[in-house]
Amino acid sequence: MTEVRSNATRIWLLHAAVIVLLLAGNFLLPEYHRGMFSRALVLATYAMGYNLLFGYTGLLSLGHAMFFAAGMYGAGLPVYHLGWDVPLVFATGIAAAGLLSLAVGVLALRTTGVAFMIVTMMFAQIFFLATLYFTTWTRGEEGLVLQPTTRAIEFAGNTISLSDPSTRYLVALTLFAIVLLVSLRLVKSSFGRTLVAIRENEERVRMLGYNVFATKLLAVVFSGLVCGAAGAAYGLLFGYVGSGFASSQYSILALLYVLLGGAATTLGPLVGTLFMFYVIDYTSGLTSAYLLLVGVVLIILILFFPKGLLGTIREKWLPWLP
Amino acid sequence: MAAVIPLIQTRALTRQFGGLKAVDNVDFNLESGKIHAIIGPNGAGKTTFVSLLSGRLLPDSGTILFDGQDITTMPAHKRVQVGIAYTFQITSVFANLSVYDNVALPVQRRLLQRGRVDPGALHQSVFEVLDRVGMADHAHSKAGSLSYGHQRLLEVAMGLALQPRLLILDEPTQGLSDGEIDTFIELVREIARDATVLLIEHNMQVVMALADRITVMNNGKILAEGTPSEIRANAAVQEAYLGGGDV
Ligand SMILES: Nc1ncnc2c1ncn2[C@@H]1O[C@H](COP(=O)(O)OP(=O)(O)OP(=O)(O)O)[C@@H](O)[C@H]1O
Ligand SMILES: [Mg+2]
């Protein structure tokens, strides 16, 4: 019992410390790295959304870019075409991703395993093609540039501009911190326990009286909402909405970030995302064939950290890591 | 005597696998508050029969009533919610989760039905269940690291944690040592004070020690039914199952 308590304290302290350190980053990081971190924080949020479904619930989706992009377009289109306010379009972005995940979930969850991977991939492909097809509104691959003036929030007589680097960093961090703490609450809750149990043995969970389909659907929608929030934030903070974000590459990235950081760890997505950002940044400064180097680094990592960085650390040294 | 509604009633229940009638036209009544054993040779259809009751499998034809209510097509998770708990013949605890989490899953399911899951109440109920099966010391071990006997016990604990009206135990003593079996017999007696128990069991010592009534299955059909002494005296049963001797 006391052990349980002290673990809970340790866990909260660790997460609080990570958030405080990141906050300090806004004031300490050189401009270039602060920009990198801003992007990484939003993509880490996306990866956290993915992790809820893949890491905790054990559902491997290969189509999560559609939820990220639904959030991005759900926010970006009304800003660009209708001039709606930032807070409102942030909400429409999240709503778009929520509706899409509900629809995709209802259909895709009729399948399991490899079929689920393929079905989610197909849906994402349809979404990607749709962003190209409706080029009148989306301008396809070229995308939409959201002007800084459209990305400002009027608040109590002040104008908060999302194109200001410090604001951008702080907004990205706020979103990241909220999602991190909510995920932590979630995975430590009864619902989180049920998700993990579904990952381990679905049939057994059913025979304990759970509606497995409904629970998985809830997980898909929750994951979709988080990914949509990340996508909306990405578009609004960095001022660009393009079909590239709906491509399969972005679905794979989420998987990669989570695998590298450690599936089913709350902080793994952040670790994986930052790691990838800096490996690519460093190697691309060395050679134009940097993807080759990235590949080598990934192989070495998987050899020594088969469960991802934090997953392996948890297994070997820190079993209390959530 | 006034007619009491049986807790479970099946009518002409049938389930086939390919051409094989694993459960063949079975009429069965289960009286409330008793320990009822089902015995029969390997492949007799016992697991299939109780899987139909618990909803793991759906029947090809026939009906199942639970406390007078038709549950023939009710999904498995709802049957658990109305009070039918099933423990697996093949141990299927969550090996990678702690013993605590294994028991917390059914407890929180039960609490959820009455509204919110209060962490304090959850914690208390989990330890109540673990104490009942004598496994509180193992709460924080990984279920997969337990001895086989303890895993079987955990399996029963998970059923118990649901506080079911009917607890179906599918060969719970398979692979247990004699000492473990004695503990187990005590546990089932205690469980039977609050719940009806349907027990599939090969070990005749356990059956004779526990059962108020025995049903003998063979080839998907009910061969005989009665009190333990009636079954012991039944010549057809001797022939088909008890095989003369080793009981
Ligand atoms: N899923 C299945 N698919 C095909 N055949 C099955 C299936 N499940 C059971 N059977 C067959 O149905 C018959 C009854 O099996 P069942 O498992 O119900 O017997 P049992 O009485 O529980 O036996 P045991 O004492 O060995 O556990 C057997 O012949 C078995 O091979
Ligand atoms: Mg069986």
Q: Does ligand 1 come within 6 angstroms of the Cβ of B241?
A: no
- Report the gap between the CA of B155 and the closest CA in chain A (Å): 11
- Residue A75 · residue A90 · CB < 8 Å: yes
End-to-end Cα distance, chain A: 17
Residues B242 and B170 in one domain: yes
Tell me the C-alpha distance between B50 and B199, whole Å: 10
Tell me the C-alpha distance between A167 and B128, whole Å: 52
- Residue A151 · residue A239 · CB < 8 Å: yes
Mean pLDDT of the region B211-236:
90
Residues B71 and B100 in one domain: no
**CA nearest neighbour of A251 among A78, A106, A126, A93:** A126
Contacts of A211 in chain B (CB under 8 A): 75, 77
Q: Report how far apart, in Å, the C-alpha atoms of A174 and of each of A20, A229, A309, B22 are.
A: 11, 12, 24, 60
Q: Is residue B186 part of a domain?
A: no
Residues B100 and B122 in one domain: yes
Tell me the C-alpha distance between A205 and A212, whole Å: 7
Q: What is the dihedral of CA B239, B243, B244, B247, to 10 degrees?
A: -130
Strands (DSSP E) contained in chain B are 8-17, 20-30, 35-39, 61-66, 69-70, 84-87, 166-170, 196-200, 213-218, 221-226
Structure tokens of B44?
């007799």
The pairing of beta strand B84-87 with beta strand B166-170: parallel
Query: How many separate domains does chain B show?
Result: 2
Residues B204 and B154 in one domain: no
Mean pLDDT for chain B? Answer: 91
In this predicted structure, what is the pLDDT of residue B246? 43
- Residue A36 · residue A169 · CB < 8 Å: no
Whether residue B106 and residue A206 make contact (CB cut-off 8 A), yes or no, is no
Q: Is residue B184 part of a domain?
A: no
Q: Does ligand 1 come within 6 angstroms of the Cβ of B22?
A: yes
**Which residues have CB atoms below 5 A from the ion given as ligand 2?**
B 47, 89
Tell me the C-alpha distance between A44 and A268, whole Å: 9
In this predicted structure, what is the pLDDT of residue A297? 86
Tell me the C-alpha distance between B152 and B163, whole Å: 18
Q: Is residue B187 part of a domain?
A: no
Residues B38 and B157 in one domain: no
Residue of B14, B15, B16, B17 with the most ligand 1 atoms within 8 Å of its CB, for mutation? B17
Q: Is residue B185 part of a domain?
A: no
Alpha helices in chain A (DSSP H): 2-28, 31-51, 65-77, 86-108, 113-133, 135-138, 165-187, 190-200, 202-206, 212-238, 248-261, 268-286, 290-304, 309-316
Alpha helices in B162-242 (DSSP H): 178-191, 204-210, 228-233, 235-237
Contacts of A208 in chain B (CB under 8 A): 80, 105-106, 109, 158, 162
- Report the gap between the CA of A68 and the closest CA in chain B (Å): 32
- pLDDT (tens digit, 9 = 90+) per residue, B68-92? 999 999 999 999 999 999 998 888 8
Residues B202 and B232 in one domain: yes
Residues B35 and B152 in one domain: no
State the pTM of this model.
0.92
Q: Which residues of B touch A (CB under 8 A)?
A: 54, 56, 75-77, 80-81, 86, 88, 92-97, 101, 104-106, 108-110, 112, 117, 122, 140, 158, 162
Residues B236 and B171 in one domain: yes
For B46, the enclosing helix (H) or strand (E) is helix B46-54
Instruction: Give the distance (Å) from ligand 2 centre to CA of residue A78.
Output: 61
Q: Is residue B155 part of a domain?
A: yes
Tell me the C-alpha distance between A124 and A128, whole Å: 6
Q: What is the pLDDT along chain A (322 residues), one digit of tens a residue?
A: 456 668 889 999 999 999 999 999 999 999 999 999 999 999 999 999 999 999 999 999 999 999 999 999 999 999 999 989 999 999 999 999 999 999 999 999 999 999 999 999 999 999 999 999 998 898 988 899 999 888 888 877 788 889 899 999 999 999 999 999 999 999 999 999 999 999 999 999 999 999 999 999 999 999 999 999 999 999 999 999 999 999 999 999 999 999 999 999 999 999 999 999 999 999 888 888 888 888 888 888 888 898 999 999 999 999 889 9
Q: Which ligand is nearest to the CA of B169?
A: 2
Residues B74 and B96 in one domain: no
Mean pLDDT of the region B21-27:
95
Q: Does ligand 1 come within 6 angstroms of the Cβ of B42?
A: yes
Contacts of B122 in chain A (CB under 8 A): 190
User: B194: helix, coil or strand?
Assistant: coil
Whether residue B92 and residue A203 make contact (CB cut-off 8 A), yes or no, is yes
Q: Which residues of A touch B (CB under 8 A)?
A: 3, 190, 193-194, 196-197, 200-201, 203-212
∠ CA B176-B180-B186, rounded to 5°: 125
Ligand 1 atom nearest the C-alpha of B217 is 21
Does residue B1 have a pLDDT over 70?
A: no
In this predicted structure, what is the pLDDT of residue A4? 63
Q: What is the largest CA-CA distance in chain A?
A: 62
Residues B123 and B112 in one domain: yes
DSSP letter (8 states) at residue B143: G
DSSP letter (8 states) at residue B184: H
Lowest mean pLDDT among A146-160, B133-147, B230-244: B230-244
* Residue B243: CATH number of its domain: 3.40.50.300
**CA nearest neighbour of B103 among B129, B78, B83:** B129
- Residue A210 · residue B79 · CB < 8 Å: no
Q: Is residue B182 part of a domain?
A: no
Mean pLDDT of the region B180-199:
93
Q: Which of B105, B116, B170 to mutate to test the interface with A (most CBs of A within 10 A)?
A: B105
Query: Confidence band (pLDDT; 50, 70, 90) for B243?
Result: low
Q: Is residue B32 part of a domain?
A: yes
Residues B107 and B222 in one domain: no
Q: Is residue B19 part of a domain?
A: yes
Q: Report how far apart, in Å, the C-alpha atoms of A118 and of each of A3, A217, A245 are.
A: 43, 17, 19
In this predicted structure, what is the pLDDT of residue A7? 86
In this predicted structure, what is the pLDDT of residue B245? 42
Q: Does ligand 1 come within 6 angstroms of the Cβ of B45?
A: yes
Does residue B196 have a pLDDT over 60?
A: yes
User: B29: helix, coil or strand?
Assistant: strand
The pairing of beta strand A158-161 with beta strand A240-241: unpaired
Instruction: Give the distance (Å) from ligand 2 centre to CA of residue B119.
Output: 37
Whether residue B106 and residue A209 make contact (CB cut-off 8 A), yes or no, is yes
Q: What is the ipTM of this complex?
A: 0.91
Residues B53 and B102 in one domain: no
> Containing domain of residue B60, as a range?
1-83+165-176+192-247
Q: Which of A187, A189, A208 to mutate to test the interface with B (most CBs of B within 10 A)?
A: A208
Q: Nearest residue CA, atom 6 of ligand 1?
A: B17
Backbone angles phi, psi at A213, to 5 degrees: -60, -50
Domains of chain A (ranges plus CATH)?
2-247 (1.10.3470)
For B101, the enclosing helix (H) or strand (E) is helix B99-113
In this predicted structure, what is the pLDDT of residue A134? 93
Query: Confidence band (pLDDT; 50, 70, 90) for B2?
Result: low
